[in-house]
Amino acid sequence: MTPDKERAGPDSGNREPEPAAAPLQAGAPAVGAARPPEVAGPIAPEEGASPSVELAPAGPDEAAPVAAAAAIAPPAEEPAAPEPPPTQEHPWVRRHHWIVRLTHWINAIVLVGMVASGLQIYGAYERFGIRGTKLPLPNPMDMHQAPKWMRLGGWLAGGLNWHFFLMWPLVLNGLLYLGYLLVAGEWRPLLFRPRDVRPAIEMQKYYLRLRKDHPAQGKHNALQKGAYTFIVLLGVLSVLSGLALWKPVQLSWLTAAFGGYELARYWHFVAVWLFVAFSLVHVTLVFVVDPASLRAMLTGWYRGRFPSHD
Amino acid sequence: MTDQDRRRFLASLAASGIAAIGVGCGWDGGKRFAPKLMSWSRVNDWVSARLFSGSRLAREYPIARRTQGAEFPAYFVSDNMPTLADPGAWRLQVGGLVRKPAVLTLDRLQSLPRLSYTVKHHCVEGWTAIATWAGVPFRVVAEMVEPLPAARYVKFTSFDAGYSNGWDLPSALHPQTILAYAYNDRPLMPDHGAPLRLYSPTKLGYKNTKYLLGVEFTDTRPGGYWEDQGYPWYGGL
């Protein structure tokens, strides 16, 4: 996908008109043009769809499938919604580059190991604050170790060695992923920007059943952009706080930036639970909202309700 | 996505979930992985040595920030606290790859230039504590005995059930590395390694040998009590 196409895509086009409502009404998909360059399989334009002039955003070839997707995937509890066409009518689209898929799954495995070995290390001193004091911050695991099944390493030295080994693939894998996003321009559909705030609110309304139709989206909706931007920042925070703990004298400026060693240790620990919470929500939403995205992350090919690749 | 596809993906997810849990379970990596991880630890030692600066000093704290004495844990590996039957007979043996080996009494060590600082102690377990230490900079002793060019490491031995540590020479020669004989303005107490212990705020606690007996300059990397069991050898902060 070229950068030029990006800018002309629905990301910019769809948001100018107010809550992008018009194109979302069921039965208003655009015609013909619904063939993004990545399409491999046949696409059947929706039967009985009437061309809609209001649709014409900046990038019609990109926007059309969005509208189509919104039209064919109304909320299940909407009785008046037209019957969704058979799934065979979704186009096959190339979704994830092999670097994205590889780094995603390496990250998933390494992160489990990092959390498990980190919990082993935490158990050696299961509280926060310099000796004789206690940080005035919440810690539900104060004076509690993680259960044995969550820990990796067997004892402190084992946990340390796992942690200090896995940190290398974690960081290198993360750099490979971010480097690919930068070079390929794939950061664009992922980065949450100020203009994504309103669509994010619309998306949240949809999830809270305050709005019935699924807002238009490209490769990812605004909430997903928020989540995927957040998780990258969380990764950066984890790595930096980890470095601050590993070398508090040689990298004393970094340790000081976290408010000192004890606070760096606290933020490093908070990041763990944010990773765990993200992963739970992430996996749940994959199955509840868009199971086809799992295949896309495994094979690279996507055939589901959100075929646009903005 | 067909139902069949969905079932297949659910099954593969369940399988990977079970595998991930298997990785946890308090497993130590077993005989297969633990030695490999210890070998990998050498890579981290190498990186740590590159990150180390011989002139960057650890932060000092005001005395008011000291951790209350009882809150600063002390330990030894012997069954009972190591003490000397005849403290007056104690000597520090300094030798190995040096031109002028030396045998030093506590009085002699205390007559050498003295360095005192209030610094943060970092234990590998994750806790920290602030205390004041005073002693002779190790580099002063090194200059006395004149290490040979081949000397790259220093082995510190103790009378605490064979507890010992191996250090890289640059860390030993760091200006804040001292042979400490005082803790919080008082002579070192037996639980903190009396009569003499190694101390540096640039190393984790377990690298700072207590109950010192000998200092040996060497060209091969010496092991150590905890290091040989799997703790990181460099242990630098």
pLDDT > 70? residue A41 = no
Answer yes or no: is A240 within a domain.
Answer: yes
Q: Which of A73-87, A162-176, B120-134 has the lowest mean pLDDT?
A: A73-87
Note whether A233 and A116 are same-domain residues.
yes
pLDDT > 90? residue B57 = yes
Q: Which of A167-171, B18-22, B39-43 has the lowest mean pLDDT?
A: B18-22
| Burial readout B58-76 (b: 16 or more C-beta within 10 A, e: otherwise) | bebbeeeebbeeeebeeeb
Residue B31: other Cβ atoms inside 10 A: 7
In the stretch 111-170 of chain A, residues with CB closer than 8 A to chain B read 112-113, 116, 120-122, 124-125, 130-132, 148-158, 160-162, 164-165, 168
Q: Which of A224-238, B94-108, B127-141 has the lowest mean pLDDT?
A: A224-238
Of B35, B194, B72, whose CA–CA distance to A132 is shortest? B72
Confidence bin at A207 (pLDDT 50/70/90): confident
Q: Which residues contact A211 (CB under 8 A, 6 or more apart)?
A: A202, A205
Q: Do A295 and B59 touch (CB under 8 A)?
A: no
**Last-in-domain residue among A73, A93, A113:** A93
**Last-in-domain residue among A93, A118, A141:** A93
Answer yes or no: is A11 within a domain.
Answer: yes
Q: Note the pLDDT tens digit of each residue in A69-109.
A: 333 444 444 444 444 455 557 888 888 899 999 999 999 99
Confidence bin at B12 (pLDDT 50/70/90): low
Note whether A69 and A129 are same-domain residues.
no
Residue B129: other Cβ atoms inside 10 A: 19
Most confident of A142-146, B14-18, B117-121: B117-121
pLDDT > 90? residue B163 = yes
Q: Do B26 and A148 touch (CB under 8 A)?
A: yes
The share of chain A scoring above pLDDT 70, in percent, equals 71
Answer yes or no: is A259 within a domain.
Answer: yes
Answer yes or no: is A308 within a domain.
Answer: no
In a mutational test of the B interface, the residue from A130, A149, A150, A161 whose CB has the highest number of chain B CBs within 10 Å is: A161
DSSP A278: H
Note whether A59 and A112 are same-domain residues.
no
Residue B118: other Cβ atoms inside 10 A: 19
Average pLDDT, chain B: 90
How far apart are alpha carbons B174 and A173 in whole angstroms? 35
Answer yes or no: is A307 within a domain.
Answer: no
pLDDT > 70? residue A26 = no
The share of chain B scoring above pLDDT 70, in percent, equals 87
Q: Do B26 and A154 touch (CB under 8 A)?
A: yes
Q: Is residue A172 within 8 angstroms of chain B, CB to CB?
A: no
A266 phi/psi in degrees, rounded to 5 = -65, -50
Q: Is residue A295 within 8 angstroms of chain B, CB to CB?
A: yes
Average pLDDT, chain A: 76
Answer yes or no: is A16 within a domain.
Answer: yes
pLDDT > 70? residue A38 = no
Confidence (pLDDT) at B102: 97
Q: Do B24 and A291 touch (CB under 8 A)?
A: no
pLDDT > 60? residue B92 = yes
Kindly list the domain boundaries of chain B, sorted by start residue. 33-82+89-229
pLDDT > 50? residue A260 = yes
pLDDT > 80? residue B15 = no
Tell me the nearest-neighbour CA distance from A18 into chain B, angstroms: 33
Q: Is residue A234 within 8 angstroms of chain B, CB to CB?
A: no
Q: Do B26 and A248 touch (CB under 8 A)?
A: no
The arithmetic mean of pLDDT across residues B57-61, rounded, is: 97
Note whether A83 and A201 are same-domain residues.
no
Q: Is residue A304 within 8 angstroms of chain B, CB to CB?
A: yes
Identify which has the larger pLDDT, B210 or A8. Answer: B210
pLDDT > 50? residue A19 = no
Identity of the residue in B21, B34, B51 whose CB atom sits nearest the CB atom of A250: B51
Note whether A149 and A215 are same-domain residues.
yes
Note whether A195 and A244 are same-domain residues.
yes
Confidence (pLDDT) at A290: 86
Q: Do B27 and A164 touch (CB under 8 A)?
A: no
Q: Which of A127-131, A225-229, A263-267 has the lowest mean pLDDT?
A: A225-229
Count A/B contacts: CB-CB distance under 8 Å: 139
Note whether A149 and A225 are same-domain residues.
yes
**Last-in-domain residue among A65, A93, A121:** A93
Identify which has the larger pLDDT, B216 or A77. Answer: B216
Q: Domain of A100: which CATH number?
A: 1.20.950.20
Domain count, chain A: 2
Confidence (pLDDT) at B198: 97
Q: Do A161 and B129 touch (CB under 8 A)?
A: no
Q: Note the pLDDT tens digit of each residue in A286-302.
A: 999 888 889 989 998 89
How far apart are alpha carbons B87 and A21 in whole angstroms? 88
**Contact in structure between A57 and A63 (CB atoms under 8 Å):** yes
Note whether A185 and A88 are same-domain residues.
no
Note whether A19 and A152 are same-domain residues.
no
Range of the domain at A84: 3-93
Note whether A14 and A153 are same-domain residues.
no
Note whether A162 and A227 are same-domain residues.
yes
Q: Which two tokens stand for residue B64?
A: 């008011």
Confidence bin at A220 (pLDDT 50/70/90): confident
Which chain A residues are Cβ-neighbours of B52 within 8 angstroms? 250
Confidence (pLDDT) at A88: 58
Answer yes or no: is A52 within a domain.
Answer: yes
Q: So what CATH class is B33-82+89-229?
A: alpha beta
How far apart are alpha carbons A134 and A138 in whole angstroms? 10
Confidence (pLDDT) at A222: 83
Pair type for strands B128-137 and B178-183: antiparallel
Note whether A202 and A231 are same-domain residues.
yes
Answer yes or no: is A309 within a domain.
Answer: no
pLDDT > 90? residue B60 = yes
Which chain B residues are Cβ-neighbours of A283 within 8 angstroms? 13
Tell me the nearest-neighbour CA distance from A224 into chain B, angstroms: 21
